[in-house]
Each structure stands twice: as C-alpha cells, then as structure tokens.
Amino acid sequence: MRLFGQTPTPSAKMGLSIIFIFLSLAIFAPWLAPYGESETLAGTWDPPSAQHWLGTDNIGRDIFSRLIYGARMTVAVALATTLLSFVFGTVTGFLAAVGGKWIDLTLSRIVDVMLSIPLLIFALIILSVFGSSIPVLILTIAILDATRVFRLARAVAMNISVTEFVEVARLRGEGLWWIIRREVLPNAAPPMIAEFGLRFCFNFLFVAGLSFLGLGIQPPLADWGGMVRDNAQAISFGLMAPMWPALAIALMTIGINLVVDWVLSINSRPSGASAEL
C-alpha cells in the first residue's frame, strides 16, 4: 500500500485503518446498525446484553446503533465544514498573496477582525441567532475556520509568488487565476494537504463540543458530542454510557493525527535524489 509515493509507516497504517473503519460505519450506517437511530427499545441506561451490546442510553435507545449513526453525522458535518473552509480560505489566501497590495491589505484586515473575536464565542452568537440547523452549523464553522486556512495559504503562497517561475509567468502576461491555478496551487499542495488533516481534526472536535453544549447537531439525530451530553449523568451511577461516544471521538482524533504526522514527515524530507558518480 503506497500513498503520496511513499509506503505508510506502521503508525500511519493504524491511523488509516481507524479512519477507514469510521468512514465505513458512516457510509453503511443504515445497514450496519441493528436498530433505528431514534428507536426507543428498553429502559434507561440498561446494562450491555445480547440485544444491546453497549447497553441503552438515557431514554432507552440502543447505544451501539446510535454510535454507528453518530459516525455518519459527526464525520459528515466535520468533512463538509473542512472542505468548505478550505475552498474559502485557500482561494482568498492565494488571492491575497498574488493579487497585489490592496487586495492583500483588505482581505488581511477582514481576517484580523474575525480572529480578534474568540472562536467559540463567535460561533455561539451566530448559532444562537440563526439556529442550529445543519446548513447553518456547517456554514458558520466553515467561515470561522477559513480564517485559519487563509493565514497558512497566504504565507505559503507569499513564498511561492516571489520565485522565478512565477515572475516568468507574469512576464509572459499570464492572468491572476492562471498563476494561482497552474503555479501556486501545485507547489502549495503538500503543506495544504497536511493542514487539511489538522483542520478536519479541529472541526471534528469543534462540532462535537458544540453538540455537547446543545448548539451543534440537534436531537433526534445522533452525534457523538450530543451522546456524551445526554448520558453524562450516568457516570454518577458507575455506568459506561457516556464513555463509548467519548472513546469514539478520541479514536478518530488519534487516527487523523497519526496520518497527519506521517504526511508532515514526508513533506519535511529533503527533496532531490543523490546522483551516482
């Protein structure tokens, strides 16, 4: 198995395996879950049994089934958020780097204003005003996260924009978007791919955190952060109900970080092969 032209390290293989398992659960949730996402089946916080492998939650729903459905919702929202934030952040960051002084100044000051407000407070205000529907949740987090992507994309593109091949493209009369698409983007791809993994990890945890606060994915939809909140009181009775979604969040985060560390190690290796004399 080879990715990016390199064989994954053992830790990267473990991370890829974890991600593959959770993605499979997310895609095939309706066929893998033994019960419905919101189906009440038994009593409150029943212990694990042959019918309910991980027990039941605060209103008698099967925890194992909700974990599977929660993978679909939590991962899908985090992935959609990260993709959207990268479109916004990368395009504006590259535009700021190669578009000239005034474009750079305008976009940078807008981002500085947004970054001056704590991320969680900004998100709580927007979600409290506009509600916590899935589209609003995705768009809110994507716009806020795009400011972080903008910073990296601008810094990377700044270094590329002063290289000789970009200057040659300008002298040839190539347009701004041609330079971004054909010169800047291919050379900025490796660090941006690594950053994508880090931002996905952050958004994944952020979505779970908002759901834990009651402003993320709303019932009856299952998500891991909301499952921890719903079953938090079970810890007082020595029950494992809130630990299963918390463990799923931790495992997914670890898996992503293992893969990102491997990608970063590839990008940090010196380029160029030694020639035989």
DSSP assignment, residue 163? S
In terms of residue numbers, what domain contains 133?
Answer: 10-36+59-266
Q: Is the pLDDT of residue 142 over 90?
A: yes
- DSSP structure string for 244-274: HHHHHHHHHHHHHHHHHHHHHHHHHSPPSPP
Query: Which pair of structure tokens corresponds to residue 186?
Result: 């291919």
Please name the residue that has the structure tokens 């395009």: 91
Residue 97 pLDDT level (bands cut at 50, 70, 90): confident
Per-residue pLDDT at 259 exceeds 50? yes
264 three-class SS: helix
For residues 52-61, average pLDDT: 89
Counting beta carbons within 10 angstroms of the beta carbon of residue 118, is it exposed (0 to 12), middle (13 to 18) or buried (19 or more)?
exposed
| Cα distance between residue 33 and residue 198, in whole Å | 29
Domain membership of residue 204 (yes or no) is yes
- Could you tell me if residue 41 is inside a domain? no
Residue 221: which H helix or E strand, with range? none
pLDDT grade for 271, boundaries at 50, 70 and 90: very low
Domain-embedded: residue 51: no
Residues in a beta bridge with 40: 61
Q: How far apart are CA 215 and CA 156, in angstroms?
A: 34
pLDDT over 70, % of the chain: 94
Residues 6+ apart with CB under 8 A from 171: none
Scanning 60-133, the segments in alpha helix (DSSP H) are 63-98, 101-115, 119-130
| Mean pLDDT (whole number) for 75-97 | 91
- Residue 85 confidence (pLDDT) above 90: yes
For residues 1-22, average pLDDT: 81
Residue 4 — very low, low, confident or very high, per pLDDT cuts 50/70/90?
low
* Within-domain flag for 275: no
C-beta neighbour count of 91 within 10 angstroms:
17
Contact 77, 207 (CB under 8 A): yes
Give pairs for 25-31: CB < 8 Å, separation 24+.
Answer: 25/67, 25/68, 25/71, 25/72, 26/71, 26/72, 26/75, 26/76, 27/72, 29/68, 29/69, 29/71, 29/72
Look at 163 and 272; give whichever has higher pLDDT. 163
Q: Give residue-wise pLDDT tens across range 147-198.
A: 999 999 999 988 888 788 788 887 887 777 888 878 888 888 878 888 888 8
Residue 138 lies in a domain: yes
Q: d(Cα 78, Cα 149) in Å, to the nearest integer?
A: 15
Instruction: Record the pTM.
Output: 0.84
**Residue 104 structure tokens:** 């750079």
Residue 216 lies in a domain: yes
| Residue scoring higher pLDDT (114 or 6) | 114
Residue at 49 is within a domain: no
Q: Is 199 within 8 Å of 85 (Cβ atoms)?
A: yes
Answer yes or no: is 274 within a domain.
Answer: no
With beta carbons less than 8 A apart as the criterion, state whether 148 and 89 touch.
yes
CATH number, position 189:
1.10.3720.10
Query: How many domains in the chain?
Result: 1
